[in-house]
Amino acid sequence: MKRVTAIGGIFFKCENPEQVNEWYKTHLGIKTSPYGAKFDWKDAETNKEGYTLWSPFKESTEYFEPSKKEFMINYHVENIENLVEELKKEGVTVLGEVTTYEYGKFAHILDPEGNKIELFEPAGE
């Protein structure tokens, strides 16, 4: 079973996301929006197009909980429901249920150090 297919996003906490976005835009030329930046790519093996998000979050966000870390990584996956069931069988801590939106499905797990990981299956896959 194929599991992770790409890094979908890098999310991190900061005091002032707007200021951080502006700094990266001004000094490193990253085209930011209020949500961060989107980096488009194409898979060399499959020729499939995708993207990776880079997004600063307000340091007070509860979105990374129960992790105490300042970051969260989002991974693109295939067959998220099957993957979550397999992870449960393997003893991985799964937080909540798979959620579905028009743009894709999400699930959250914890690694052995308590880092929250976001799994994302883009719509149409």
Mean pLDDT over each residue of the chain, to the nearest integer: 94
- What are the distances in angstroms from CA 91 to CA 5, 46, 53, 86, 120? 22, 31, 29, 9, 20
Per-residue confidence (pLDDT) for residue 45, from 0 to 100:
86
Sign of the Cα torsion 85, 75, 98, 109 reads: positive
Per-residue confidence (pLDDT) for residue 48, from 0 to 100:
86
Per-residue confidence (pLDDT) for residue 64, from 0 to 100:
96
Q: Is the pLDDT of residue 125 over 80?
A: no
From the list 12, 9, 10, the residue with the least C-alpha distance to 59 is 12
- Read off the pLDDT of each residue in 39-67 and give the average, rounded to a whole number: 93
Instruction: For residue range 84-121, list pLDDT tens digits in order.
Output: 999 999 999 999 999 999 999 999 999 999 999 999 99
Residue 124 vs residue 114, higher pLDDT? 114
Q: Alpha-carbon distance 114 to 69, whole Å?
A: 8
Cβ neighbours of residue 57 closer than 8 Å, sequence gap 6 or more? 11, 12, 13, 14, 17, 63, 64
Residue 1's pLDDT band (boundaries 50, 70, 90)?
A: low
